[in-house]
Each structure stands twice: as C-alpha cells, then as structure tokens.
Amino acid sequence: MNLDKISDERLFANNTKEDIMRWCSTLRYFHYMRARGGHNCEGDSFCVYFKYDTREDLISKLSLIGVNIKELQEGEIAFDPLESYSIDDLDKLKITITEFNDLVQPQNVEIYGKKSHVWVIKDRFEISVSGTKDGQIYKVTDDDFNVCLLLEKKFDQLKWEPILDYDIESQIHCVSKRKYPELYRKE
C-alpha cells in the first residue's frame, strides 16, 4: 500500500480511468484534484495555483481575469474562527485573506464568464472549477474540463505560465505527473 497515493478504487470512483488520463494528458495549468474524503465537505475539482508577490501584485493579477478584490466595509466583521458571534452578527461576517485581513476572500466568482472559485493564501491564489454542468460541486465532468481548457487559453494570452506554482503537485489528492506518471501516458 502506497500512502503517497490514492488507491485506484477511490481514484476512479467518480470518473473513469480513461477520462482522468485524457484530462491529465491535456491540461497544462489545471490538475484534477480527487476529494480527500472524510468530513471536510470537499469535492473533486480542477485546480491551479498562481504566485503573487505583493498585495498590489495580487490585486492586479486577479483584476486581469475579472476578479475584483473587495475591502472590508465599515460595519462588516472579519471572521475569526476562535471567536463567538451573536446571531445579529452573522450577516456582517466576512472571510478575509489571512495576509491582508482588510480584504475579503473572492470565493465564488466568474472568470471570463465561467463559474470558478478563487481562494487566496500566502504568496499564491488558487482557482478551482467544478459543478459547471449542474451545480454539483462534489464531482467534475467534461463540462468542467472544457472550462479549464478555455481558461488555460486565457492564461496563455496573459503569459501566466511563469507564475504557476507547482507546490500544488505535492498535495496527496492532486493527480500530478509527479505522483501519478502512469496517468500521463497514452494507452
């Protein structure tokens, strides 16, 4: 049993091996991410990480793809998981970017007219795609794959290949060439 890899039974539970191999062999920016399982409310997705240097760089890069970062407004509260809140505060709570706690996490956005999810962490931001076909965000389909292909063309136009963050490939649930080279071969 290899603890650095997902079992074949689990890996191919939602999609066929052929589909996953086709996705892996075609996508250049995005990776297929198999849900880790358990109780973390996470589904399968296609994800990519991009690097940024500064607050201004982050805002600039996201604005290039139509994602506008919002500042925390007066009366809004930056959510702190260690705090208790009253029922009256719930509508005021906003999840902020850890490194810039006056900026609200983008989360569910449209990029070039396609539903996506953006999450900012230290020195990088993640773009994920799932649920394109029917809103079912726990599984991916060819519709999601096609959104990734469209976005990859846009990333090429922006010349974003140099800012790809390959740390994503170290995650156990990332189906990368590093961990799953057999899925990157043509059968």
Per residue in 65-80, pLDDT (tens digit) is: 999 999 999 999 999 9
Residue 54: DSSP 8-state: S
Helix, coil or strand: residue 69: coil
Token duo for residue 126: 């993640």
More confident call, 181 vs 3? 181
Sign of torsion over alpha carbons 121, 49, 7, 134: positive
pLDDT score, position 5: 81
